[in-house]
Protein backbone atom coordinates (compact mmCIF):
# COMPACT_ATOMS: atom_id res chain seq x y z
CA UNK A 1 0.00 0.00 0.00
CA UNK A 2 2.87 2.36 0.86
CA UNK A 3 6.32 2.30 -0.73
CA UNK A 4 9.11 4.50 -1.98
CA UNK A 5 10.13 7.86 -0.55
CA UNK A 6 8.02 8.95 2.40
CA UNK A 7 8.96 12.25 4.02
CA UNK A 8 8.74 12.66 7.79
CA UNK A 9 7.44 16.20 7.50
CA UNK A 10 8.29 19.01 9.91
CA UNK A 11 5.51 21.02 11.51
CA UNK A 12 6.04 24.70 10.68
CA UNK A 13 5.42 27.23 13.45
CA UNK A 14 5.08 31.01 13.42
CA UNK A 15 4.88 32.93 16.69
CA UNK A 16 4.06 29.75 18.57
CA UNK A 17 1.19 28.65 16.32
CA UNK A 18 0.93 26.29 13.35
CA UNK A 19 1.90 28.09 10.15
CA UNK A 20 -0.63 26.81 7.60
CA UNK A 21 0.74 28.93 4.78
CA UNK A 22 4.11 27.23 5.21
CA UNK A 23 2.41 23.84 5.58
CA UNK A 24 0.76 24.27 2.19
CA UNK A 25 4.11 25.29 0.70
CA UNK A 26 5.74 22.15 2.08
CA UNK A 27 3.02 19.78 0.84
CA UNK A 28 3.12 21.29 -2.66
CA UNK A 29 6.94 21.10 -2.63
CA UNK A 30 6.78 17.37 -1.97
CA UNK A 31 4.05 16.63 -4.47
CA UNK A 32 5.98 18.44 -7.20
CA UNK A 33 9.21 16.69 -6.17
CA UNK A 34 7.81 13.17 -6.58
CA UNK A 35 7.62 12.22 -2.89
CA UNK A 36 5.47 9.09 -2.54
CA UNK A 37 3.74 9.86 0.79
CA UNK A 38 3.83 12.34 3.66
CA UNK A 39 4.05 11.50 7.36
CA UNK A 40 2.77 14.20 9.72
CA UNK A 41 2.94 14.40 13.51
CA UNK A 42 5.98 12.13 13.74
CA UNK A 43 9.05 12.92 15.82
CA UNK A 44 10.38 15.13 13.00
CA UNK A 45 7.00 16.88 13.07
CA UNK A 46 7.25 17.45 16.84
CA UNK A 47 4.11 15.37 17.18
CA UNK A 48 4.55 14.87 20.92
CA UNK A 49 4.77 18.65 21.36
CA UNK A 50 1.38 19.32 19.75
CA UNK A 51 -1.89 19.61 21.63
CA UNK A 52 -4.80 17.35 20.64
CA UNK A 53 -6.46 20.32 18.94
CA UNK A 54 -3.29 21.18 17.03
CA UNK A 55 -2.85 17.56 15.93
CA UNK A 56 -6.43 17.56 14.68
CA UNK A 57 -5.80 20.74 12.72
CA UNK A 58 -2.45 19.64 11.24
CA UNK A 59 -3.88 16.30 10.11
CA UNK A 60 -7.07 17.79 8.68
CA UNK A 61 -5.29 20.64 6.91
CA UNK A 62 -2.61 18.39 5.39
CA UNK A 63 -5.27 16.01 4.07
CA UNK A 64 -7.19 18.97 2.67
CA UNK A 65 -4.13 20.42 0.93
CA UNK A 66 -3.07 17.05 -0.47
CA UNK A 67 -6.57 16.47 -1.84
CA UNK A 68 -5.85 12.77 -2.50
CA UNK A 69 -2.83 13.59 -4.68
CA UNK A 70 -0.48 11.91 -2.19
CA UNK A 71 -1.12 9.53 0.75
CA UNK A 72 -1.05 11.04 4.24
CA UNK A 73 0.22 8.97 7.16
CA UNK A 74 -0.09 10.14 10.77
CA UNK A 75 2.35 9.47 13.60
CA UNK A 76 0.43 8.11 16.59
CA UNK A 77 3.21 7.76 19.14
CA UNK A 78 2.32 7.10 22.75
CA UNK A 79 3.69 5.05 25.62
CA UNK A 80 0.12 4.26 26.73
CA UNK A 81 -1.99 1.88 24.67
CA UNK A 82 -5.29 3.64 25.37
CA UNK A 83 -3.80 6.92 24.20
CA UNK A 84 -2.39 5.27 21.06
CA UNK A 85 -5.92 4.03 20.30
CA UNK A 86 -7.24 7.56 20.75
CA UNK A 87 -4.62 9.06 18.43
CA UNK A 88 -5.10 6.34 15.82
CA UNK A 89 -8.88 6.78 15.92
CA UNK A 90 -8.40 10.52 15.47
CA UNK A 91 -6.31 9.96 12.32
CA UNK A 92 -8.82 7.44 10.99
CA UNK A 93 -11.77 9.77 11.60
CA UNK A 94 -10.03 12.63 9.80
CA UNK A 95 -9.41 10.50 6.70
CA UNK A 96 -5.72 9.63 6.91
CA UNK A 97 -4.47 6.84 4.68
CA UNK A 98 -2.49 5.14 7.43
CA UNK A 99 -0.75 5.57 10.77
CA UNK A 100 2.78 5.07 12.06
CA UNK A 101 2.66 3.34 15.45
CA UNK A 102 5.85 3.29 17.50
CA UNK A 103 6.94 0.77 20.12
CA UNK A 104 5.81 2.23 23.50
CA UNK A 105 8.67 4.35 24.80
CA UNK A 106 9.95 4.99 28.34
CA UNK A 107 7.90 2.23 30.01
CA UNK A 108 10.18 -0.48 28.50
CA UNK A 109 7.59 -3.21 27.80
CA UNK A 110 8.50 -6.83 27.21
CA UNK A 111 8.32 -8.23 23.68
CA UNK A 112 4.95 -9.74 24.63
CA UNK A 113 3.84 -6.31 25.83
CA UNK A 114 4.81 -4.83 22.45
CA UNK A 115 2.79 -7.50 20.65
CA UNK A 116 -0.26 -6.93 22.86
CA UNK A 117 0.04 -3.16 22.34
CA UNK A 118 -0.08 -3.53 18.55
CA UNK A 119 -2.84 -6.12 18.69
CA UNK A 120 -5.00 -3.94 20.91
CA UNK A 121 -4.60 -0.81 18.76
CA UNK A 122 -5.15 -2.85 15.59
CA UNK A 123 -8.31 -4.51 16.90
CA UNK A 124 -9.71 -1.19 18.16
CA UNK A 125 -9.35 0.66 14.84
CA UNK A 126 -9.76 0.11 11.10
CA UNK A 127 -6.82 1.88 9.45
CA UNK A 128 -3.57 0.54 7.91
CA UNK A 129 -0.67 0.52 10.39
CA UNK A 130 3.07 0.87 9.81
CA UNK A 131 4.90 -0.40 12.89
CA UNK A 132 7.86 1.68 14.02
CA UNK A 133 10.95 0.27 15.73
CA UNK A 134 13.28 2.94 17.12
CA UNK A 135 15.42 1.56 19.95
CA UNK A 136 17.33 4.82 20.27
CA UNK A 137 14.19 6.72 21.28
CA UNK A 138 12.23 3.89 22.91
CA UNK A 139 14.95 2.04 24.87
CA UNK A 140 13.47 -1.24 23.58
CA UNK A 141 14.31 -3.02 20.32
CA UNK A 142 11.54 -4.91 18.55
CA UNK A 143 12.93 -8.37 17.80
CA UNK A 144 12.50 -10.04 14.43
CA UNK A 145 10.21 -12.64 15.99
CA UNK A 146 8.06 -9.86 17.44
CA UNK A 147 7.81 -8.15 14.05
CA UNK A 148 6.81 -11.48 12.47
CA UNK A 149 4.07 -11.92 15.07
CA UNK A 150 2.72 -8.40 14.57
CA UNK A 151 2.82 -8.92 10.79
CA UNK A 152 0.09 -11.54 11.20
CA UNK A 153 -2.36 -8.72 11.93
CA UNK A 154 -4.24 -8.00 8.65
CA UNK A 155 -3.82 -4.21 8.65
CA UNK A 156 -0.18 -4.06 9.72
CA UNK A 157 1.25 -3.30 6.29
CA UNK A 158 4.79 -2.11 6.94
CA UNK A 159 7.69 -1.54 9.30
CA UNK A 160 9.84 1.52 9.74
CA UNK A 161 13.05 0.20 11.28
CA UNK A 162 15.65 2.49 12.84
CA UNK A 163 17.81 -0.41 13.95
CA UNK A 164 21.06 0.04 12.01
CA UNK A 165 21.81 -3.70 11.78
CA UNK A 166 21.15 -4.10 8.06
CA UNK A 167 21.23 -7.90 8.25
CA UNK A 168 17.83 -7.63 9.97
CA UNK A 169 16.27 -6.70 6.65
CA UNK A 170 16.98 -10.14 5.16
CA UNK A 171 15.54 -11.94 8.17
CA UNK A 172 12.47 -9.68 8.15
CA UNK A 173 11.91 -10.34 4.45
CA UNK A 174 12.04 -14.06 5.21
CA UNK A 175 9.89 -14.09 8.37
CA UNK A 176 7.43 -11.29 7.51
CA UNK A 177 7.31 -11.25 3.69
CA UNK A 178 4.05 -9.31 3.47
CA UNK A 179 5.50 -6.20 5.14
CA UNK A 180 6.85 -3.22 3.25
CA UNK A 181 10.16 -2.41 4.93
CA UNK A 182 11.19 1.23 5.34
CA UNK A 183 14.55 2.54 6.41
CA UNK A 184 14.26 4.79 9.43
CA UNK A 185 17.94 5.74 9.37
CA UNK A 186 18.81 7.98 6.42
CA UNK A 187 22.61 7.45 6.38
CA UNK A 188 22.15 3.69 5.86
CA UNK A 189 19.39 3.93 3.22
CA UNK A 190 21.46 2.63 0.25
CA UNK A 191 22.54 -0.43 2.22
CA UNK A 192 19.01 -0.95 3.52
CA UNK A 193 17.69 -1.11 -0.03
CA UNK A 194 20.49 -3.47 -1.07
CA UNK A 195 19.45 -5.85 1.70
CA UNK A 196 15.85 -5.90 0.41
CA UNK A 197 14.19 -2.77 1.79
CA UNK A 198 11.24 -1.18 -0.01
CA UNK A 199 11.78 2.50 0.76
CA UNK A 200 12.34 5.05 3.49
CA UNK A 201 10.57 7.32 5.92
CA UNK A 202 13.07 10.10 5.74
CA UNK A 203 14.19 13.28 7.46
CA UNK A 204 16.63 14.08 4.65
CA UNK A 205 13.76 14.07 2.14
CA UNK A 206 12.56 17.34 3.71
CA UNK A 207 15.60 19.05 2.17
CA UNK A 208 16.31 17.10 -1.02
CA UNK A 209 13.14 15.18 -1.90
CA UNK A 210 14.05 14.84 -5.57
CA UNK A 211 17.41 13.26 -4.77
CA UNK A 212 15.91 10.78 -2.31
CA UNK A 213 13.27 9.82 -4.88
CA UNK A 214 15.94 9.52 -7.60
CA UNK A 215 18.03 7.23 -5.42
CA UNK A 216 15.04 4.91 -4.92
CA UNK A 217 14.15 5.01 -8.61
CA UNK A 218 17.74 4.23 -9.59
CA UNK A 219 17.72 1.22 -7.29
CA UNK A 220 14.36 0.00 -8.63
CA UNK A 221 15.74 0.32 -12.17
CA UNK A 222 18.96 -1.42 -11.12
CA UNK A 223 20.96 1.60 -12.25
CA UNK A 224 23.64 1.01 -9.65
CA UNK A 225 26.08 3.57 -10.99
CA UNK A 226 23.52 6.37 -10.71
CA UNK A 227 22.37 5.11 -7.32
CA UNK A 228 25.96 5.25 -6.06
CA UNK A 229 26.40 8.75 -7.45
CA UNK A 230 23.26 9.98 -5.68
CA UNK A 231 24.15 8.12 -2.49
CA UNK A 232 27.48 9.93 -2.41
CA UNK A 233 25.67 13.26 -2.76
CA UNK A 234 23.15 12.39 -0.05
CA UNK A 235 25.66 11.09 2.51
CA UNK A 236 26.79 14.48 3.90
CA UNK A 237 23.20 15.76 3.90
CA UNK A 238 21.90 12.79 5.86
CA UNK A 239 24.78 13.01 8.32
CA UNK A 240 24.17 16.72 8.88
CA UNK A 241 20.49 16.19 9.67
CA UNK A 242 21.49 14.43 12.89
CA UNK A 243 24.42 16.47 14.21
CA UNK A 244 21.92 17.79 16.75
CA UNK A 245 18.65 16.16 17.82
CA UNK A 246 16.09 15.94 15.04
CA UNK A 247 14.37 18.22 13.93
CA UNK A 248 16.77 20.98 15.00
CA UNK A 249 19.06 20.80 11.92
CA UNK A 250 16.31 20.13 9.37
CA UNK A 251 14.22 23.08 10.54
CA UNK A 252 17.20 25.41 10.26
CA UNK A 253 17.93 24.12 6.76
CA UNK A 254 14.30 24.57 5.65
CA UNK A 255 14.32 28.11 7.00
CA UNK A 256 17.40 28.85 4.89
CA UNK A 257 15.49 27.47 1.91
CA UNK A 258 12.70 30.02 2.66
CA UNK A 259 10.13 27.28 3.23
CA UNK A 260 9.49 27.78 6.96
CA UNK A 261 10.46 29.95 9.91
CA UNK A 262 13.18 28.48 12.11
CA UNK A 263 10.97 27.87 15.12
CA UNK A 264 10.82 24.87 17.47
CA UNK A 265 9.09 24.05 20.73
CA UNK A 266 10.84 23.56 24.05
CA UNK A 267 12.61 21.49 25.14
CA UNK A 268 14.01 21.67 21.58
CA UNK A 269 16.28 24.67 21.07
CA UNK A 270 17.81 26.42 18.07
CA UNK A 271 20.79 25.00 16.20
CA UNK A 272 24.21 26.03 17.45
CA UNK A 273 26.29 28.47 15.43
CA UNK A 274 28.60 25.59 14.49
CA UNK A 275 25.69 23.59 13.10
CA UNK A 276 24.37 26.62 11.24
CA UNK A 277 27.72 27.22 9.55
CA UNK A 278 27.93 23.58 8.55
CA UNK A 279 24.42 23.58 7.09
CA UNK A 280 24.96 26.88 5.27
CA UNK A 281 27.98 25.42 3.48
CA UNK A 282 26.13 22.21 2.72
CA UNK A 283 23.05 23.93 1.28
CA UNK A 284 25.25 26.03 -0.98
CA UNK A 285 26.78 22.87 -2.46
CA UNK A 286 23.74 20.69 -3.17
CA UNK A 287 20.79 20.74 -5.54
CA UNK A 288 17.50 21.04 -3.63
By annotation, the residues acting in catalysis are: 132, 160
Cβ neighbors of 9 (< 8 A, separation 6 or more) are: 26, 27, 30, 38, 39, 40, 42, 44, 45, 62, 206
The neighbour count for residue 1, using CB atoms within 10 Å, is 12
Three-state SS at 4: strand
Three-state SS at 122: helix
CB 38 within 8 A of CB 68: no
Cβ neighbors of 1 (< 8 A, separation 6 or more) are: 97, 98, 128, 157, 158, 180
Q: Enter the DSSP assignment of 262.
A: -
How far is 283 from 1, CA to CA, in rounded Å? Answer: 33
How far is 278 from 107, CA to CA, in rounded Å? Answer: 36
Q: Decide: residue 25, CB within 10 A, 0-12 exposed, 13-18 middle, 19+ buried.
A: middle
Plot region of 198 (φ>0 → left; ψ -120 to 50 → alpha; else → beta): alpha
Amino acid sequence: MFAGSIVALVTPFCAGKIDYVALKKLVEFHISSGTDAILVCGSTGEGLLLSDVERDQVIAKTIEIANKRIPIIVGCSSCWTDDAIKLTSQAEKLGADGVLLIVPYYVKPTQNGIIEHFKTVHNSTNIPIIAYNNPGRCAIDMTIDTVAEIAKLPRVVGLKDSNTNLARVNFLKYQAPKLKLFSGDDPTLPGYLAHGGDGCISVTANIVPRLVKQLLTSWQNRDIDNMQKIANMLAPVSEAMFVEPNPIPVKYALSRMKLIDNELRLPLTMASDKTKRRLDLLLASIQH
